[in-house]
Amino acid sequence: MKQIKKIVVVGGGSAGWMSAATLINFFPNHDITVIESSDIKPVGVGESTLGGIRYWMSALGIDEKDFMSYTNASYKMSIKFTDFYEKDHGSFHYPFGQPYTDNSTGLNDWQVKKAVYPDTPVEDYCRSYYPAMSFIEQNKFPNPDSDLENFRQDTDVAYHFDAALFGQWLKNNYCLPRGVKHIDTIVDSIQHDDTGITSLILSNTDTINADLYIDCTGWKSLLLGETLKEPFNSYSDILPNNRAWAVQLPYTDKEKELEPFTNCTAIDNGWVWNIPLWSRIGTGYVYSDKHISPEDALQQFKDHLNSDKMTVPNNNRVTDDLEFRDISMRVGLHQRTWVKNVVAIGLSAGFIEPLESNGLFTVHEFLLNLVSVLQRGHGTQWDRDTYNTATKSLFDNFAEFVSLHYALSVRDDTPYWQEIKNKTFSPAMVAHTPMLSNGFTDLVARKMSTFEHSSNSGMHCIATGMNYFVFNSINILYAEKTHNINVKEQLDYWIDSRQQLIDKWNTESNNSITLFQYLKEHIHDNI
């Protein structure tokens, strides 16, 4: 069998250049070419990331300050959700990293607190376990040497950045200097047979062939979908949204508005994201065109931007010179993402929706899975099958995690939310996967039998924020009668000891500088 030595990436953008960067890093002697036309504007999906991207960057040896200054990047420590549980109900956070517990305390303790003191707000949950919350809520950023329990700046922080600029930076500062070839043109036609793609005919009449083709052509999925006809499985049964309006807004008070988190606010027919970069704010309205027309959605979006629901209200944000982009989303995953000699990466493989910042997450995770296979040197059917199984499991789990934000909602103020409230979100979708800590089945089992959340994923943060508690007064009564203990007495001791930790975290936050100041001093100091 022929070894994989020559790889062609079709399509650029963040997915295409992340693919080329990953491959040239792990296989520096391979012949790697990117076909990208400068006439095609990238979608620009993926301005908000998750902590896993730092592992990928570390593996590639990417200089943080260099890429951050180029891409107008900022740091991200959490995702904030507003009005997802109920309209005008308030907000909760999903901070990155693991919650801080020790031998004498666990996630169950807060559940007991909520049962004994029902008026405890859900926001108190993350404040009690995540030291970063003290910084997040004050727009502060911890120094690298901060003494915060169970918090590491190198792993528990992600980025907000300009996705289009990120692709450019990877191209000019990483890929081309390492020998990746770039052809500025489009693919005019594709030759293929039973073995897969045999050659690409370019618009300049050149012909190019490869051992492996990476499809990064976006939702068009030119190679995997259009050419090889691999079936696409829609996830619309659990993910209701399929369109978005996006726009870039200027700052009015950058130090106040530059927050260390992505803000997601549920409104009438979907939700609005708010992503603060160094240079501007990226915002968009993700919605379902089943319930509202694009024209009405745009007006609804503009009304929201000028309302007090914005993170930092400003009644003069929407002006005539703003460019609103209409984005149609293909939500789902191809049945297989590696077929014959074609691997789809990014939007060409599948997309969940922007909630929980999965766009670039699936890119770097799929790529790392691909690297682990290609290190064998060939790409047999076994390799393709195991890759497809691993990536589908990863994708399915993330899709189910995202759908949890809708499944646990009790909103019924519009037909959109009424439909979601009465919808069946089946756990059967990922019942086969071993990653149950990310799935409905695990969440339900813990509520109904073990009465304790798992800390292995952010599931417990979302569940608690959506008033889905694993512990109640019945459990307390059982504990008191069976074990002859005074639950309230023990609980009050835990509350006091935990408050001491919170006070310590607040002190560190009070003594720290704002995220704006930190970025100005350490990252964007040349501006």
Does 451 fall in a domain?
yes
**DSSP codes of every residue in 352-379:** --TTTT-HHHHHHHHHHHHHHHHTTSS-
Residues 227-272: tens digit of each pLDDT: 999 999 999 989 999 999 999 999 989 999 999 999 999 999 999 9
Distance of CA 371 to the CA centre of its chain: 21
**DSSP codes of every residue in 197-243:** EEEEEETTS-EE--SEEEE--GGG-IIIIIIT---EEE-TTT----E
Residue 46 pLDDT > 80: no
* Average pLDDT estimate for 469-476: 81
Whether residues 229 and 129 share a domain: the answer is no
Q: Structure tokens of 435?
A: 């990653």
Distances from the Cα of 297 to the Cα of 189, 272, 324, angstroms: 37, 11, 12
Q: Are 512 and 147 in contact (CB under 8 A)?
A: no
Q: How far apart are CA 477 and CA 444, in angstroms?
A: 22
Residue 1 pLDDT > 70: no
Whether residues 200 and 319 share a domain: the answer is no
Q: Which residue has the tokens 């990863």?
A: 394
Whether residues 427 and 347 share a domain: the answer is no
Q: Which residue has the tokens 């060409």?
A: 348
How many independent structural domains does the chain possess?
Answer: 3
Q: Are 42 and 163 in contact (CB under 8 A)?
A: yes
Residue 436 pLDDT > 50: no
Whether residues 494 and 451 share a domain: the answer is yes
Q: What is the three-state SS of 15-69? A: HHHHHHHHHHHHCCCCEEEEECCCCCCCCCCCCECCCHHHHHHHHHCCCHHHHHH
Does 523 fall in a domain?
no
For residue 247, the cross-strand partners are 283
Q: What is the pLDDT of residue 427?
A: 64
Q: Which residue has the tokens 């993926």?
A: 46
Whether residues 47 and 138 share a domain: the answer is no
Q: Are 249 and 258 in contact (CB under 8 A)?
A: no
Q: Name the residue range of residue 276's domain.
A: 243-328
| Residues with catalytic function | 76
Does 524 fall in a domain?
no
Residues 496-522: tens digit of each pLDDT: 999 999 999 999 999 999 999 999 999
∠ Cα 405 309 264 (to 5°): 30
Q: What is the CA radius of gyration of the chain?
A: 24
pTM: 0.93
